């Protein structure tokens, strides 16, 4: 009853751009705050960006501010992450998540178990 599937991950050179997609199915996610997280090999999963279901406001980790843009198309039940000016440190598996929280900021505070849905991830590799 509801799933998220990420796509778009690939290898890209530093300074390049990439757009990730997260397609929801099985249910509408229009009333879920959506977020992107990432996990580098051997590292903790970390918050990247989120977008509220209630007002559409967005929130970003400091490390990606000005470079990444999260957006959503509720008609397509899809959330996107536009990634520009990519850096090698952006290399990670990127995960899409959904939670029944109101604000984008609240998404950052949720741990793995606080999410209602997780995708299985898509790998982004940024070469230097």
C-alpha 88/C-alpha 15 separation (Å) is: 9
pLDDT tens string 98-128: 999 999 999 999 988 999 999 999 999 999 9
pLDDT tens string 17-46: 999 999 999 999 999 999 999 999 999 999
Instruction: State yes or no: pLDDT of 49 exceeds 90.
Output: yes
C-alpha 41/C-alpha 11 separation (Å) is: 15
Nearest C-alpha neighbor of 23 from the set 108, 119, 94: 119
What percent of the chain shows pLDDT beyond 70? 100
């Amino acid at each position: 009853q509801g799933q998220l599937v990420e796509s778009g991950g690939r290898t890209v050179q530093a300074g390049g751009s990439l757009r990730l997609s997260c397609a929801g199915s099985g249910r509408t996610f229009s009333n879920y705050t959506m977020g992107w997280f990432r996990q580098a090999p051997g590292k903790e999963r970390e918050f990247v960006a989120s977008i509220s279901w209630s007002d559409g406001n967005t929130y970003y980790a400091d490390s990606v501010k000005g470079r990444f843009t999260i957006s959503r198309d509720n008609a397509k039940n899809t959330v996107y992450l536009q990634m520009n000016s990519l850096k090698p440190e952006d290399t990670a598996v990127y995960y899409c998540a959904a939670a029944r929280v109101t604000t984008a900021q609240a998404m950052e505070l949720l741990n793995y178990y606080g999410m209602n849905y997780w995708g299985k991830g898509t790998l982004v590799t940024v070469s230097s």
